[in-house]
Amino acid sequence: MSQPPAQTVVTLYTKPGCHLCEPVARTIAAAAKVRSFTFAKCNILDDAAERARYQHAIPVVTVNGREIARYRLSLQELLAAIDATAAPAD
């Protein structure tokens, strides 16, 4: 019996008042209309390690833990990254 594929997780690293994060969040919302994935929004101020790592780089977007974008994200980039997670391993 084969296992179902793991759910794709799209994570947005952000903080309150981040003006660059708003359009990226809208892109993620648009992707959710055409692809199935779990969305996680992480406030970098809640975790010292994330704050140190991303304090000058947000927004950062990861798909299944792999960084795919900083500062800007197009819908096409996000959909391609999501689709790549569903591709069978060779």
| pLDDT tens digits, one per residue of 68-83 | 999 999 999 999 999 9
pLDDT tens digit string along 6-52?
Answer: 789 999 999 999 999 999 999 999 999 999 999 999 999 999 999 99
Closest CA to 62 of 83, 46, 82, 90: 82
Q: Please state the pTM of the whole predicted model.
A: 0.88
What does the CA dihedral 51, 54, 60, 62 come to, rounded to 10 degrees? -80
The reply to whether CATH 3.40.30.10 applies to domain 9-86 is yes
